[in-house]
Chains A and B, each alone.
Chain A
Amino acid sequence: MYGYMGKSLTIDLTKNQFSTEPLDRERARKFLGGRGLGARALFDHDITVDAFDEKNPVIIATGPLTGALFTGSKFVFITKSPLTGIFNDSYCGGSFASEIKFAGYDMITILGKAAKPSYIYIYNDKIEVRDAGHLWGLGSDETESALKKELGREFKVVTIGPAGEKLVPYACVSTDFYHQAGRAGAGAVLGAKNIKAIAIKGSQGIKVAEPDKLFSFVVNELPVMFKNSVFGENRIRYGTSYTTTSTNALGIMPTRNFQTGTFENIDDINAFAMRERIVERDKACYGCQVPCGKYSVVKKGKYVGTKVVGPEYETIGLLGSNCGVGEIEAIAKANLLCDQLGLDTMSAGSAIAFAMECFERGILTKDDVDGLDLRFGNDDAQMELIRKIAFREGIGDILAQGVKKASEIIGKGSEEFAIHSKGLELAAYDPRGAFAMGLAYATASRGGCHRRAKPVDVPGLSQDEYSSFGWKGNAALVERLQDFREIVHSALICDPALRFGFEMKLKGLTDVINMVTGMDFTFDELSLMADRIATLARAYNVKQGITRKDDTLPSRILNQPLPEGPGKGQIIGQETMDRMLDEYYELRGWDKETGVPTKETLERMGLDFIEL
């Protein structure tokens, strides 16, 4: 079997048993790998249980392209999210993904709960659940260092931090110190299973169907495609921070909890400030020719000596401008703190911004927030709040539950500005200056996420094809962008590397998938597969009670205009949202009234094992 290792591993922590199963070829043909195969595998388990129930599996998946010469390998944690209660697929770069395959597995399923704090040791066929008493309570970075010292530096390690142990619903998983599967709480689900870390090493090779063709494509053609790409160039020089230049100009840079989309101190936190002031070295994930990671060192001020890979754009937006913090050095420190404690920088940034707005409006008093001066821009208070959230102390325990639940607890009209969709805090693009982004947030399968489609300033597309301030064309654009990522996230490689580095479309990707797997997929087959995987994730969410009413945006974003910038005065409004949703459901074959996939759609896609 080419591209695949042909085997998946199941670890039952309760019974302390391990088993392997051969890869189901028919399933691979229908769901490819990564997000697709992982989502399909979720349906083999009880999908009605709570996220922290030991029956909720954590599925760690790779895809046929992962580590197979083609660009940027990633892996994904698929599980029910404790933050949103719905489907969560949380991706991560670094070098862990390929190591899973070198150890001989396409997928690892973790079930049950260990009797005491443990870590999982995997070296090819040797699998052990080992005591992690000495690691419990340590930071993510300290845990990784300790395990590499114990086992050897060639082991790849994923860890959770104290936030994961304390079951903060947006606790992340870290690897290679600075890479995170950030969103929607895979770290907390591992914490609930008493799993502090997984260490893996392998010595097996990946075989591909057409080695000569793939080799020649990667060695001779890709570097040329890549050299001719302006996006690739910016991506290498500035990493994701390059996005600051376009979002602030478009007036969609979240500022002070999405009160505006233009940040007055942008020059101190943008891509140029970052490159000039803190970036020391360009870093890449395993097998990627677009080194967008930025190893940064703070050289002056109170955070001098801070070392972190990043901050990424979303972190700059949500821990920076959205909290009114206007110094790249302070953002780097907050980023590192979140990494060490095991918190998603995005949800944490959004929760802190929410608390700051509550504070400035008098909804939360100084007494409510443990005496902190929570005005926007106070980075000292921000650092303290990050710590309090991770350890669930005082106000931190409320904010640790995410802005949806926190606003329900705090009340007093704060629900209006709790910036989330389906419980997942929005990413750092204010849809009021790019309406299609509103549809992308509302329909992403894990809630307010930017990674399934990012229809903002789409290269090569004119406003005739979609509308920044209207509904026309947006549903088709979002569906198309989502479909491309359905395949990328299932093949499992990095989509920004593709988009920015190689301008590659699904057609080109089809060729590469065939060179690796030899499965002769047609373009139409992969297009249908993309639709199938989108509908599969939707079906999972429908089973959790999600319907059309949940495909929405927070009140501020839906009903109020931005006060300045290109989007000034524009209101998305329910009517526009409804028109985009109508069209989107129609394209997907989901019922317009309910947003539930129809029986015919499920049948057409070969998903008739699901009853909705």
Chain B
Amino acid sequence: MANQKINVNHDLCTGCRMCEQVCSMNYTKDEINPQKSNIRVETDALIGYDRPVVCSQCEGKFCMKACPFEAIKINEKTGAAEVDREECTGCWACIDACPEKAMFKNLEDGVAMKCNLCGGNPQCVKVCTMKAITF
């Protein structure tokens, strides 16, 4: 099943970053750390601007094409592109290639990060009060 993705309506985003907290905890299993979240809220507090940045699982799959190590693979169940942490070398070619700027560096482990739809059951959308992100 292709084209499953997190839908974003940034007009509704409050900038609470609960999605970042929940994502990082789900990704790391034991840590709340926005720097290890696969979704990031871009914020400009002065003008009240907030926008969740998260992979749209685009058709182009630029990250996959850019990866010299075939470390980004499609999950057959969800259609999501996922980073294989064993294969990833941290060369960041995918991050440069992503037109949405929706891939991030996990500096501690030296691997690239992106939304993997939590294997088909995304957790971030459950804590989004205003439904700025939905699945």
Contacts and interface: CB of A to CB of B under 8 A. Distances in A.
Interface in B83-133: 107, 123, 126-127, 129-130
A289 B129 contact: yes
Contact of A291 (B16, B34, B36): B16
A509 interface: no
Q: Which of B18, B26, B43, B126 has the most CB of A within 10 A?
A: B18
Contact of A219 (B30, B47, B107, B126): B126
Contacts of A223: 126-127, 129
A105 interface: no
A280 interface: yes
A573 to B, nearest CB: 45
A295 B11 CA distance: 12
A288 B30 CA distance: 20
A309 B32 contact: no
Contacts of B32: 67-69, 205-208
B35 A203 contact: yes
Instruction: Bin the interface of chain A by size.
Output: 35 or more
Contacts of B35: 102, 203, 205
Contacts, number: 99
Nearest to B126: A219
A259 to B, nearest CB: 36
Contacts of A281: 11, 14, 48
A153 B44 CA distance: 8
Given A223-B126, A283-B48, A211 B14 contact: no
B46 A219 contact: no
A95 B26 CA distance: 21
Given A206-B33, A236-B129, A211 B25 contact: yes
Interface in A201-253: 203-208, 211, 215, 218-220, 222-223, 226, 236
A286 interface: yes
Contacts of B57: none
B129 to A, nearest CB: 5
A219 B130 contact: no
A291 B130 contact: yes
Interface string B18-35: 100110111011111111
B45 interface: yes
Interface centre among A67, A141, A153, A286, by most chain B C-beta atoms within 10 angstroms, is A286
Given A68-B32, A218-B22, A287 B16 contact: yes
Contact of B22 (A94, A102, A219): A219
A286 B16 contact: yes
A284 interface: yes
Q: Which of B16, B24, B31, B130 has the most CB of A within 10 A?
A: B16
Given A203-B107, A287-B16, A290-B129, A280 B48 contact: yes
Contact of A287 (B21, B30, B33, B107): B21
Nearest to A283: B14
Nearest to A72: B16
B52 interface: no
Contacts of B50: 283
A219 B127 contact: yes
A84 to B, nearest CB: 30
B14 A291 contact: yes
B31 A205 contact: yes
Contacts of A222: 127
A595 to B, nearest CB: 41
Contacts of A208: 30, 32
A20 to B, nearest CB: 20
Contacts of B5: none
Contact of B48 (A153, A206, A295): A295
A95 B15 CA distance: 10
A287 B19 CA distance: 9
Given A69-B22, A153-B44, A211-B25, A206 B15 contact: no
A285 B16 contact: yes
B29 to A, nearest CB: 7
A550 interface: no
B2 to A, nearest CB: 27
Contact of B18 (A68, A207, A282, A289): A289
Contacts of B34: 102
Interface in B32-69: 32-36, 43-48, 50
B129 A205 contact: no
Contacts of A219: 22, 123, 126-127
Contacts of B48: 280-281, 283, 295, 307, 309
B9 to A, nearest CB: 12
Contacts of B30: 207-208, 211
Interface in A252-296: 280-291, 293, 295
A205 B126 contact: no
B25 A177 contact: no
10 contacts: A95-B17, A141-B46, A144-B46, A205-B33, A206-B31, A219-B126, A220-B126, A285-B16, A288-B16, A290-B129
Interface of B: 11, 14-18, 21-22, 24-26, 28-36, 43-48, 50, 107, 123, 126-127, 129-130
Given A204-B33, A205-B33, A211-B25, 9 more contacts: A69-B21, A102-B35, A145-B46, A203-B33, A205-B28, A219-B22, A282-B14, A289-B18, A291-B130
